Amino acid sequence: MKPLLVVDSPKRWPLKIPETELVSSYDYLADPKLAEGAGRKVFNLCRSFRYQAAGYYVSLLAEARGHRPLPSVSAIQDLRLAPMLKIVSQDLDELIQTNLRRIKSDTFELSIYFGHNLAAGHESLATAIFNAFPAPLLRAKFERHGTWKLVSVRVIGLGDVPDSHRNFVVEQAERYLRRAPRKSKAAAPTKYDLAILHDPNDPLPPSSVETLKQFVAAGESVGIACDLIRKDAYGRIAEYDALFIRETTNVNHHTYRFARRAEAEGMVVIDDPRSILRCTNKVYLAETLARHRIATPKTLILSRDNAEAGLRSLGFPCVLKRPDSSFSAGVSRCDTEKDAPGMLASFFEESDLLVAQEYVPTDFDWRIGTLGGEVLFASCYDMAPGHWQIVERDASGGVHQGDFTTVAVSAVPPEVIKLAIRAAKTMGDGLYGVDLKVVKGKPVVIEVNDNPNIDVGVEDAAIGDELYRRIMQHIFWKLEAR
């Protein structure tokens, strides 16, 4: 079905945008025929979005009908929140100062049409504001008090657009529609649209380009059209039914903002924001595993006041972990008591707490992949040659990894599987990679990772394409349940 352009009065709408259907807000709210078509895109171009105005109700009912409105109700609410505006202004501060450094006056207004501005020099700033407040037509106001600050962002109507800008508005609307998710004519019919967030420049991505192609093919086989997106697609996320993050996650990162935004839009999300929050912080993880009495190496949460005494109680060597460590980065081995003061000082420069753990050397770690409380794969990751971790980072930034073996789940000791599932469930029901060691014949959990590595020829070595199909089938079932 064609996307809908909803305006206050079509008679006053002087622009024609190809491949769209123009309707009034009254017709959209009252005509039962326009309520049909789950997943239909609705571009809400009403002038007023105040609470209970027609523009507000267009987006509200669009969501209730299973349509995809731009702006969404959550975006409308964000525009009203002063704290949200302050956060965006702070996040974009460097970009704002750079873009506006040549402006002579102390006030400046930026018109944003589907994420773009006529002036090429302001394009990046326009896109960033659209990503924060996704709405078709926006106007942002800045004031300079020593430095530039974003003081307001408001939705505007076509009447607020200068005549000289109107052709540009049509161009950007057409461009926006062309970038919308498209189902391949050659592909099997699909029911849902899935955005797969990835970063092609990530040196250690959780899934390679070849692996992403496997996910896309598996999605289409179960009725999901997949679209590979990057971080600049934040403003478009509500166009999809689900989000699958295949990029290294962190709380202080755009991956977390994507997850939060997608969840607020009612989408199915893997990794969901709670899983990112819980798994990426080793302090939270250590506390949670201890509270649920899940076997781990002896683990302590340390502050500056008790750190040296804590390490002595663990004994040397021991392992120090920054709360947000990942891929072996931010994890160090303290070999002697003499090394402790210097290493602790370095760790406490970035965090008031750290995690210290008993050092338990093994030839390999188990990585048990789970999804929705069930095991997906089981891999053995060997230590990097001559190193005590599975990943070694050298002084020049190079990365060296150990070998791997992926086995049938039936070949894994039952006690390892049982403990991995218990540990994963303390984090949620998402996609996790549980790292375990077997020490003196008993398994212990090292950590639970959100966003685990899944790569062609590694984690899929035991069941092949079935691994990708099971993940996509899980997303499909979650969408059906929704």
Of the two residues 368 and 347, the one the predictor is more confident about is 368
Closest CA to 100 of 124, 116, 81: 124
Helices 82-91 and 123-132: crossing angle in degrees, nearest 10, is 140
Instruction: Give the pLDDT score at 415.
Output: 97
Instruction: Over range 368-393, report the average pLDDT.
Output: 92
Residues counted in the chain = 482
Question: What DSSP string describes 364-410?
Answer: EEEEEEEETTEEEEEEEEEPPTTSSSSEEE-TTS-EEE--EEEE-GG
Give per-residue pLDDT as tens, 245-277: 999 998 888 899 899 888 888 899 999 999 999
Mean pLDDT of the chain: 90
Instruction: Over range 186-210, report the average pLDDT.
Output: 87
Q: State yes or no: pLDDT of 325 exceeds 90.
A: no
Q: For each of the domains in the chain, give its residue range(s) and CATH number, in order of start.
A: 1-180 (no CATH), 192-271 (3.40.50.880), 298-359 (3.30.1490.20)
Instruction: Over range 331-351, report the average pLDDT.
Output: 91
Give per-residue pLDDT as tens, 6-17: 998 898 877 788
Instruction: Give the pLDDT score at 328.
Output: 58
Of the two residues 47 and 124, the one the predictor is more confident about is 124
Question: pTM here?
Answer: 0.76
Q: State yes or no: pLDDT of 188 exceeds 70.
A: no
Instruction: Over range 372-399, report the average pLDDT.
Output: 86
Q: How far apart, in whole angstroms, are the C-alpha atoms of residue 19 and residue 173? A: 11
Determine what percent of the chain is predicted with pLDDT higher than 70: 96
Q: How far apart, in whole angstroms, are the C-alpha atoms of residue 218 and residue 350? A: 41
Residue 95 has φ and ψ, to the nearest 5°, of -65, -40
User: Contact at 8 Å (CB) between 357 and 297?
Assistant: yes
